A and B are shown apart, each in its own frame.
Chain A
Amino acid sequence: MKQSVMSADGPPQRAIDMSGQAMPNRSPRVQQSIHGAGEKRRAPSLGHLEAVAEDESTTVTHEALETESPVVEIDNFSLYYGAKQALFNVSMNVPHGKVTSMVGPSGCGKSTLLRSVNRLNDLIDHVRTEGSMRYGGMDIYSRNINVIELRKSLGMVFQKPNPFPMSIFENVVYPLRIDGEKRKNVLMEVCERSLRGAALWDEVKDRLHESALGMSGGQQQRLCIARAVAASPDVLLMDEPCSALDPIATAKIEDLIQELKGEYTILIVTHNMQQAARTTDYTAFMYLGRLIEYGPTLDMFTKPRCRQTEDYMTGRFG
């Protein structure tokens, strides 16, 4: 694993890493430009927006979130790809057992944020982080953390279904295989439970040993969910899981998300506003690498507190 990241509360892991103080001016400048653009575009009255904080460069987090117990705590998290900053001081808590969506226009950093949670961004060269991100009390970016174990607790579903070129059965039990599990009955049991959990069992129970590549796109995506569930994670990270699927397959995945809710904490990135409205409890709106507003989904759609949120939710931009 590349260790080019650093945590704010730990010592620098590489001499060349810049400390948190090294680029103090970056974020405010960009934030101001966002602020400025927003003002130029949105002069008209916004009756219900009077409660908006004066300074739009800080995140507006609704009070409802204070009553939730967080699983993943993101605190002042910034991320750089080389010299380019992709995330600006993001702070949000992902509530336990709930479905939280991240919305925002393309390139706003939602996927980057999602992939920071299970440290998948480690694969990219020259990635550097600041601030902290905690899971279950552990600092995800601390030097001592076992990234392999971390990823086992944080299942991930990708934009495009990515079944492995092996049988359906082997796909589902892959997380157990890499742990060295060999007992047939255990594997079979987990396979059935996971496939049932992903609402796929009835469709594939007679062809478990056929290649997973022969399934439809929607089935493949549910297979990937089953595979993630088989590792018995706490959190499921979903990166636009329906963007490559047709409406019927999308509906099935959305139903599935509802069923998985409660048992798992789900953090989902989506471009589909209806999907966010239908399936999630909380919604975070991101724009240009900043978390603008974060609150209960219903409130975010009906009475957002930021102009940019309202603009985006109502389809005026993005």
Chain B
Amino acid sequence: MAGLARIGAISVILMLVALLAVLTTAAWPSIQAYGTSFLFSSDWRPNELNVPMKDGDGHVIIEDGEVVMETIPPSFGALPVIYGTAVSSVLALVFAVPLSFGTALFLVRLCPKKLIGSVSFLIEFLAAIPSIAFGMWGLFVLSPLLQNYIEPGLRSALSWIPGVNGWLFEETVKRGSKVVTSEVPLTGSDLFTGGLVLAIMILPIITAISRDVLRNVPRAQIEGTLALGATWWQSSWEMLRYSRSALFGAVMLGLARASGETMAITMVIGNNNQIKPSLFAPAQTMSSLLANEFAEASTEIHRSSLCEVALILLLMSLIFNVVARWLVVGKGARTSAAA
């Protein structure tokens, strides 16, 4: 029986290695074709493009009365989806972390004993809801709400602040030689909505871990601050400080989940492969790009580039998870043993 367990453990490790190997092989043509520029190029064009050929002065070349056309090969760059993933995940953290820490503090310090079980269950139940359900809620409830009320409200509330209007609610587009400034259309399918939906989805994991971490703050630390005349908030702040590395780990786990989340974000982020500074502009994440395009990828280089995006996503999640685990389990255990 021990042998069976060993085989089980080894096969899990083998699966991870195999996954990395398969993805790397599949991504190889793209890695060879684009190298590191894959990470920094914002051009994602799966199809060939026929454009008029121009000469050195920028004039269209005409031969025998016909415009000479040239074919530009497809090009792939992951910068917009890396940007979309980063911004939507960070937004999710901005919304989720204060709420999660607040909830964890409530559960540890304020919640009547009778209620702790049910409140914890409800929060952890959020983690068990299928992500498609969050996506549909986001699409049918949250998105219209944001589009019709909250985003216009934010615009009228915030646009007087210098810089905010230009950053969030206006975009500049180059049309030929002219630079045109126009209002960002508020669609409700954008980075902001994506961040909100992700925040709800990562709330349970950050809350559950930070609750366990805060529960392990030694009594002597809490009493030490209170005995010196600290208020409830001040002593809570010291609790957070005391367990800061483990809490940071909890946040990293939330980040790992947010960056890899696919279904819900695909439904609300607007799926537009672009980098716009406005948080109210549609965008694309790595995972939503894969969900949208993988089925329709017809050329080898397209598939291969998608595989490279998947590889980047996998490596990123791996790093987040390893760092988080090290912080929560490794360091957390050490600090509480020292105290």
Q: Which residues of A are interface residues toward B (Cβ below 8 A)?
A: 1, 118, 120, 123, 125, 148-149, 151-152, 154-156, 158-160, 162, 164-166, 174-175, 178, 213, 224, 227-228, 231, 237
Contacts and interface: CB of A to CB of B under 8 A. Distances in A.
B236 to A, nearest CB: 12
A162 B113 contact: no
Interface string B217-231: 010111111111111
> DSSP majority for the A interface?
mixed
B218 A162 contact: yes
A120 B223 contact: yes
A175 B231 CA distance: 11
Q: 4 nearest interchain CB pairs? A: A152-B229, A156-B227, A162-B220, A162-B224
B242 interface: yes
B238 interface: yes
Given A164-B242, A165-B242, A174 B227 contact: no
B220 A231 contact: no
A314 to B, nearest CB: 33
A151 B227 contact: yes
B228 A228 contact: yes
Contacts of A155: 227-228
A152 B224 CA distance: 12
B220 A158 contact: yes
Interface string B303-339: 0000000000000000000000000000000010011
A152 B234 CA distance: 14
B241 interface: yes
Contacts of A158: 220, 223-224, 227
B226 A151 contact: yes
B106 interface: no
Nearest to A228: B228
A231 B229 contact: yes
9 contacts: A118-B227, A125-B113, A151-B228, A159-B220, A162-B220, A164-B221, A175-B228, A178-B225, A213-B338
A159 B218 CA distance: 13
A148 B234 CA distance: 11
Contacts of A228: 227-228
Interface of B: 113, 218, 220-232, 234, 238, 241-242, 335, 338-339
Contacts of A159: 220
A125 B115 CA distance: 14
Nearest to A179: B229
Nearest to A154: B227
A151 B229 CA distance: 5
A108 to B, nearest CB: 21
Contacts of A154: 227
B238 A164 contact: yes
A12 B335 CA distance: 43
B229 A120 contact: no
B220 A160 contact: yes
Contacts of B220: 158-160, 162
Contacts of A175: 228-229
A174 B232 CA distance: 15
A281 B225 CA distance: 29
Interface centre among B222, B229, B230, B242 (most CB of A within 10 A): B229
A100 B250 CA distance: 47
A224 B234 CA distance: 18
Nearest to A153: B229
Contacts of A118: 227
B252 to A, nearest CB: 20
A231 B338 contact: no
Contacts of B221: 162, 164
Contacts of B242: 164-165
Interface centre among B113, B224, B226, B228 (most CB of A within 10 A): B228
A163 to B, nearest CB: 8
Contacts of B339: 162
Contact of A123 (B113, B223, B231): B223
A224 B228 CA distance: 10
Contacts of A164: 221, 224-225, 238, 241-242
Contacts of A162: 218, 220-221, 223-224, 339
